[in-house]
Amino acid sequence: MCCATLCCGLVSNPAQSEGGSISALIFGSLDAGASSFITAGTKITFDGRDRDGFVILASGGAGARIERGPSIRGIATSQTRLTALGAVLAGYQWFHDWGVVAAFAGPEGSIEVEQSILGTMVLPDRYGIRLHGEVWARPTAKSLLTATAILGSTRQSAWGRLAWGYDVLGAYLGPEAALYADGTGYSKLGIGVHATDFRIGDVSFRASLGYQTETGGGGSPYVTLSVWQPW
């Protein structure tokens, strides 16, 4: 299960400048491909979105993927894994002339259901700790480099994304790469292109399109759409 959807909108765009005390950002994302995941959440800051300060990040999501199932008389079968995830993280964000750095940590929980030819199995609820780090940097006045890493002990999962973009008509266009792996032995590598921070009113978007390979040698296209808005 991919955690990519948790990253959108967690760090304010360095180009934006808004003061204030307590403020919030709501975000949501859909990751669609051979496996799919949808996420929604909010980021709350206490010293304005464009200033150093403490941050609360709460998110929840659910998704499904097809994976190798039990063998029946030597014949391999497939199964569907349904997963629901939630986390409440506390962190801090640092603003610099060149960009933003943010770090979060806090509890997470997950529920999983396996559906196979043998029936449906509900796995025990699991709880653990999540670590999340994110950087939005401006190597030049017209470019944006983003790097994100998320580690979760609940499912022994790790997810990372690296993207670069150049400002074209107000949106950053460029390549991206993402890697995910968890304790079930599943992994996924995606490479594609993205358009980040194009806007309709005060709503910002990120769209990605690319190709991903998964455990077992399978490959498929993927599409990601993320949205975030001040609230």
**pLDDT tens, per residue, the chain with 231 residues:** 444 443 444 444 444 444 557 889 999 999 998 889 999 999 999 876 678 899 999 999 999 988 777 777 777 778 899 999 999 999 999 999 999 999 999 999 999 999 988 889 999 999 999 999 999 999 999 999 999 999 999 999 999 999 999 999 989 999 999 999 998 888 999 999 999 999 998 899 999 999 999 886 678 999 999 999 988
Quote the CA–CA distance of 164 and 166 in Å, as a whole number: 7
Residue 131 identity (one-letter amino acid) = L
- The three-state (H, E, C) secondary structure of 82-98, written as one string: EEEEEEEEEEEEEEECC
The predicted pLDDT at position 120 comes to 92
Cα 3 versus chain centre, distance? 4
Cα distances from 160 to residues 24, 125, 166, 187, in angstroms, run 25, 25, 21, 12
First to last CA, the chain: 29
Check if the beta carbon of residue 29 is closer than 8 Å to that of residue 8. Answer: yes
Quote the CA–CA distance of 87 and 28 in Å, as a whole number: 14
The predicted pLDDT at position 20 comes to 55
The predicted pLDDT at position 214 comes to 86
The predicted pLDDT at position 218 comes to 75
The predicted pLDDT at position 50 comes to 74
Residues 6+ apart with CB under 8 A from 161: 4, 7, 146, 147, 148, 176, 177, 178, 179
For residue 230, give the DSSP letter.
E
The predicted pLDDT at position 217 comes to 67
The predicted pLDDT at position 92 comes to 95
What is this structure's pTM? 0.86
